[in-house]
Amino acid sequence: MTPPHRQIHLAAHFPGVNNTTVWADPRAGSQIDFSSFEHLARTAERGKFDFFFLAEGLRLREHKGRIYDLDVVGRPESLTVLSALSAVTERLGLAATVNTTFNEPYELARRLATLDHLSGGRAAWNVVTTNDAFTGANFRRGGYLDRADRYRRAEEFVRLARTLWDSWAPDAVVADPERGVFVRPGAIREFRHEGPQFTVSGRFTVPRSPQGHPVIIQAGDSGEGREFAAANADVIFTRHGTLAEGKAFYADVKSRLAKYGRRPDELKIMPGVTFVIGDTDAEAAELAAEIRRQQVSPQTAIAFLEQIWGRDLSHLDPDGPLPDIEPDLSTEVAEGRVKHHDRAAVAARWRAVARERNLTIRELVIEMTGRQSFVGSPLTVAKSMAEFVAAEAADGFILVPHLIPGGLDDFVDRVVPLLQELGAFRTEYTGTTLRDHLGLAVPAGKEAA
Amino acid sequence: MTTTGHLHLAVALDGAGWHPAAWREAGAHARELFTARYWAKLAGEAERGLLDFVTIEDAFRLQSTLPDDVDDRTDQVRGRLDAVLLAASLAPRTRHIGLVPTATTTHTEPFHVAMGIATLDHVSRGRAGWRVQVSPRASEAAHFGRRAIPRLDPEFRDRALLAELFEEAADAVEVARRLWDSWEDDAEIRDVATGRFIDRDKLHYIDFSGRWFSVKGPAITPRPPQGRPIVAVLDHGGTAVPYELPARAADIVFVTPHDRDDAARIVERVRAVPRDGEPLKIFADLLVFVGPDAAERKARLDELDGAELVSDARIFTGTADELADLLLDWREAGIDGFRLRPGAVPADLKGIARGLTAALRRRGAFRHAYESTTLRGLLGLPRPASRYAAASGRLP
Ligand SMILES: Cc1cc2nc3c(=O)[nH]c(=O)nc-3n(C[C@H](O)[C@H](O)[C@H](O)COP(=O)(O)O)c2cc1C
């Protein structure tokens, strides 16, 4: 009997609009039909996952001035589809990514509290701060917010949302027909907030929800982003999915908590990771290579190059060598995705690797982008994950399958039982709310005045 | 007029019913008002009655007996859930009935509202509608702090403000419909040979630019199953140009006639407003207490509330047969359907879904089975082609 492992938290990411999702596979189903969402959510719940996760993108991505057409395009509005999923699941947490720049606290706090009520305490909000003018073109105020202010607005937004969630006393609704009392006197308090971003007052319309406050997730990687998470978040969704990076990130973020009077276990760190499972490690490796080829089609390979080089490279042969072309740093060909910080350095590194290893363009892109995080037999994957968490490189994982709707089936059927045998993952839900699953306390409510 | 000669019937859900004391009735389960289970029961009852759709009320303010202030009354229902999300939670729990939540246009982003309703249409496989409403109150504006709106005049004498809010609502609907059209139906191609998931020539920028907002598009959500979800507006005819918003922007208008002659006058005024496309469906709103004990129940509730019930809509008390006769009489004035506001749930919801539907069926005026799986289908409205597909006239 192995000693009990540190407990892993698991979430399922509905894969979407990037080349992780293999839409060309014959088994790939609809990306928009509700049945696909239902399948993935039910599978995650069967696997006793902590939560189901949806990303957000408020403008379709563009490439060389046109809509990018090589990846999945299109997705539902997150909170609406999660509300529907609340009807077909019972325990699974339901997490929506929602932007603070192009929303208003009163409305969004209502929607999140509503999901928490409808789901009996399973709502989570991934707070993101995308603020570019490209996205702003779909909204009333356009690109009004400076990048420097993105987390200032987010911080004030979350603080105000918490004020609204606290404004109804926990036991405000009595609904006693005999006495004719629906709400206790004074239990719906007036809120009043004056700040640089928002000056608002009045009454909130939604009773305090089962979790008090929905779980707050943060995804953003800058210093400001990490500080915001340390102060405000219950979970961080990170991209640091390798052991070394993960440990550094974990140590950095957890060390920021004390300043806010928080304990290390009050913030869970969950990198987004991919996985490939085979009967043997060798078979999984082969499968992984095949999936990478599907993820990087010839056209996708050229598009990736163009993003880094900042110019049209459609004349290049994806199965040919990478010629000596200088990147054009004055232009961006991609809009609506996370930008490479230093394109000159990335281009130089790619050229060096291509030369050294004599790779074609497509081989190079396969090599340099998005390698799978966990590849192997079910036992190899289970052990690596448990070790990753034991090494304090993460508290758990947000799994991104590459196939919809069936991409999580194998993981749940073959890896989860092994994680459970290792003593690293729950065999049953022990609570009903997402806070229960994550081991987070319910924020203290405020009694009636 | 429908080909079958059947009436259209909708029920307006709000809290425990439209009487402020309804929550105090036996069987109201008012403690469950903020749970999914409560609403699932109501929607299930309406669906068993084969109704066309349910609407769900919503607003960015607490219910109040005062025009533009909180009243701090503790003896009436206070609090509401977001109606679009509530409707979405009902979608997997129902199969046929239309789901028409209220979403407001004064403080919301047209882009978000449009994507929410499009998603509701996806999760319900074609049963979504949007009841459009404005937020005309200073107290609502204070919740957002972005826009100055004067305190509400209960007499609505500030016609200019209402006209502005309604015009903005019409723009929001225009944006939503353009976004719903911005993906042509066959935009997703999954062409492995060229590596393309979509044919981007079939996705369109909507480039809407108006007085209150500009929206670039295209939608982030693929075209809804119905093409364009149903848009409904309540209009009392009190604006500068009565019934202009529904004529411009709605598929259904809810009106509030007080008798048959009034209904005829309203129908005439609605039909006089110029409009493109399918004729507007005119639904009359009625607040109803249905059953043999209707009058006593209403009197009891009035007594409990300490005031006689008032409403913008005609208040009906009577048996299911009497109500059926009234509806068929008003139909002669040109009314296509009815949105009934149950005085108290569950009694009056059952009165509608069981008693009234049976009485109408006996008169050959209501369906015996759902004839469609989409709301458009139930209303007898065709599925519109994308305006951009029609406009592009693409060469083969
Ligand atoms: C793992 C991860 C996932 C993210 N997912 C989204 C998303 O779904 N939608 C979005 O608008 N931004 C997303 N972001 C962007 C961030 O929220 C953030 O707005 C952006 O990275 C800028 O903040 P930063 O400078 O702190 O990184 C994601 C970021 C990370 C690291």
Average pLDDT over residues A419-447: 94
Is the confidence at residue B390, as pLDDT, over 80? no
Report helix, strand or coil for B71: coil
Does any domain span residue A28? yes
Q: Model confidence over A289-321: pLDDT tens digits?
A: 999 999 999 999 999 999 999 999 999 999 999
Residue A444 has a CB neighbour count (10 Å cut-off) of 9
DSSP H or E run through B99: strand B98-104
Looking at the structure, tell me whether residues A227 and A120 fall in a common domain: yes
List CB contacts of A171: < 8 A, sequence separation 6 or more. A184, A187, A448
Whole-Å CA distances, B125 to A449, B90, B117, B189:
46, 12, 12, 21
- Please indicate if any CB of chain B lies within 8 Å of the CB of A26: no
Nearest-Cα distance to chain A for B325, in Å, is 34
CB contact under 8 A, B112 and A103: yes
Answer whether A225 contacts ligand 1 (Cβ < 6 A). Answer: yes
B5 pLDDT more than 90: no
> Which comes out higher in pLDDT, residue B205 or B236?
B205
Amino acid at B108: T
pLDDT digits (tens, 9 = 90+) for B321-353: 999 999 999 999 999 999 999 999 999 999 999
Quick check: A70 and B217 CB within 8 A?
Answer: no
8 A C-beta contact, residue A62 and residue A68: yes
d(CA B129, CA B131): 7
Q: Is the pLDDT score of A267 beyond 90?
A: yes
Give CA–CA dist B164/A420, Å, rounded: 61
Show which of A368, A387, A416 is a domain's final residue. Answer: A368
Q: Which residues of A touch B124 (CB under 8 A)?
A: 84
CB contact under 8 A, B120 and A140: no
The owner of tokens 């902590």 is A50
Go through chain A and tell me how many residues it has.
Answer: 449
- Supply the pTM of this predicted model: 0.97
Token output for A323:
């010629």
A93 belongs to a structural domain: yes
Give the DSSP letter of residue A188: B
pLDDT at B193 > cutoff 90? yes
Please indicate whether residue A129, judged by its CB atom, sits closer than 6 Å to ligand 1.
yes
pLDDT more than 90, % of chain A: 91
Asked, for residue A134, whether it belongs to a domain, the answer is yes
Per the CB < 8 A criterion, the answer to whether A364 and A296 are in contact is: no
Write out the two tokens for B220: 């982030």
The tens digit of pLDDT for each residue in B83-100 reads: 999 999 999 999 999 999
User: Mutate which of A99, A138, A295 to disrupt the B interface (most B C-beta within 10 Å)?
Assistant: A138
Q: What pLDDT band is residue A222 in, cutting at 50, 70 and 90?
A: confident
> Can you say whether the dihedral through the CA atoms of B62, B65, B71, B74 is positive or negative?
negative
Using the beta-carbon criterion (under 8 Å), do A205 and B70 form an inter-chain contact? no
Residue A336 and residue A413 share a domain = no
Residues A39 and A157 in one domain: yes
Specify whether A87 is located in the same domain as A113: yes
3-class secondary structure, B288:
strand
- As a whole number, the mean pLDDT across chain A is 95
* pLDDT score of B393: 59
Sheet of A66-67: strand order equals: A66-67, A62-63, A334-335
CB contact under 8 A, B60 and A205: yes
Mean of the pLDDT values across residues A53-71?
Answer: 97
User: Does residue A449 lie in a domain region?
Assistant: no
Name the residue with the closest Cα to ligand 1, atom 13. A128
How many independent structural domains does chain A possess? 2
**What does the CA dihedral B30, B36, B38, B39 come to, rounded to 10 degrees?**
110
- The label of the residue with tokens 């696997």 reads A47
Q: Is A210 in the pocket of ligand 1 (CB under 6 A)?
A: no
**In a shared domain, residues A19 and A73:** yes
Mean pLDDT over B294-303 rounds to 98
A45 plus A177 within the same structural domain:
yes
- Hey, is A119 helix, strand or coil? coil
Task: Decide if A316 is inside a domain.
Answer: yes
Q: For A33-55, what is the mean pLDDT?
A: 98
Shortest distance between the Cα of B330 and any Cα of chain A, in A, equals 37
Closest CB to A182 among B77, B81, B107? B77
pLDDT tier, A3 (very low <50, low <70, confident <90, very high otherwise): low
Beta strands, E only, A105-145: 123-128
Contact B115 A76 (CB under 8 A): yes
Check if the beta carbon of residue B254 is closer than 8 Å to that of residue B235. Answer: yes
pLDDT band at A339 (very low <50, low <70, confident <90, very high): confident
Asked if ipTM goes beyond 0.90, one says yes
- Residues A32, A157 within the same domain: yes
Mean pLDDT estimate for chain B: 95
Q: Counting atoms of ligand 1 from 1, which one is nearest the CA of A58?
A: 11
A331: burial class by Cβ within 10 Å (0-12, 13-18, 19+)?
Answer: exposed
pLDDT of amino acid B242: 85
* Nearest ligand 1 atom, CA A225: 26
Which of A368, A401, A426 is where one domain is finished? A368
CB contact under 8 A, B221 and A67: no
| Parallel/antiparallel/unpaired status of strands A374-376 and A275-277 | parallel
Question: Both A197 and A323 in a single domain?
Answer: no
Q: Are strands B337-342 and B281-290 parallel, antiparallel or unpaired?
A: parallel
By most ligand atoms within 8 Å of CB, the mutation choice from A155, A221, A242 for ligand 1 is A221
| CB–CB contact B93 A87 (8 Å) | yes
Q: CATH number of the domain that A90 lies in?
A: 3.20.20.30
Mutate to test the pocket of ligand 1, among A72, A102, A129 (most ligand atoms within 8 A of CB): A129
Task: Please give the DSSP secondary-structure letter assigned to residue A201.
Answer: E
B217 contacts in chain A (CB < 8 Å) = 138
The confidence band for A418, taking pLDDT boundaries of 50, 70 and 90, is very high
- Which tokens in the block code for residue A156? 């004030």
In this predicted model, which residue has the larger pLDDT, A342 or A394? A394
* Residue A2 resides in a domain: no
In the predicted model, is pLDDT for residue B4 greater than 50?
A: no
State the nearest Cα–Cα gap between A264 and chain B, in angstroms. Answer: 34
- Where b means 16+ CB within 10 Å and e means fewer, B3-21 reads eeebbbbbbbbbbbbbbbb
Pair (A383, A358) in one structural domain? no
Q: Are A77 and B118 inside 8 Å of each other by CB? A: yes
Question: Does residue A378 sit in the same domain as residue A238?
Answer: yes
Distance A266 CA to ligand 1 centre (A): 21
Q: Which domain holds residue A135?
A: 9-279+372-438
Shortest-distance Cα residue to atom 25 of ligand 1:
A222
Confidence tier at B3 by pLDDT (50, 70, 90): very low
Q: What pLDDT, on a 0 to 100 scale, did the predictor assign at position B153?
A: 87
Q: Where are the alpha helices (DSSP H) in chain B?
A: 36-48, 83-90, 110-123, 138-144, 159-181, 244-249, 260-272, 294-305, 320-331, 347-350, 357-362, 375-379, 387-392
Residues A362 and A234 in one domain: no
* Averaged pLDDT, B225-232: 98
Q: Which residues of A are less than 8 Å from B222 in CB distance?
A: 32, 74
Task: Report the pLDDT value the prediction gives residue B392, as an integer from 0 to 100.
Answer: 67
pLDDT at B160 over 80: yes
Q: What is the DSSP string of B165-225?
A: HHHHHHHHHHHHHHHHHSB-TT-EEEETTTTEEE-GGGB----EE-SS-EE----SSPPPT
A181 touches chain B (CB under 8 A): yes
In three-state secondary structure terms, B320 is: helix
Query: Given this model, what pLDDT does residue A179 score?
Result: 95
Would you state the pLDDT for residue B395? Answer: 42
Residue A15 CB less than 6 A away from ligand 1: no
- Contact by Cβ (8 Å): B56, B101: yes
For B74, which of A111, A183, A207 is closest by C-beta distance? Answer: A183
SS3 state at B64: coil
Domains of chain B, residue spans: 8-146+228-381
Provide mean pLDDT across the span A210-230.
Answer: 94
A48 and A128 part of one domain: yes
CB-based burial, B179-213: b 16+ in 10 Å, e otherwise: bbbbbbeebbeeeeeebbbbebebbbebebeeebb
Q: Note if the bond before B218 is cis, omega within 30 degrees.
A: yes
User: Residues of A193-205 as b/e, b for ≥16 C-beta within 10 angstroms?
Assistant: beeebbebebbbb
> Domain boundary residue among A368, A383, A408?
A368
For the B8-146+228-381 domain, the top CATH level (class) is alpha beta
Chain B residues whose CB is inside 8 A of the A140 CB are 109, 212-213
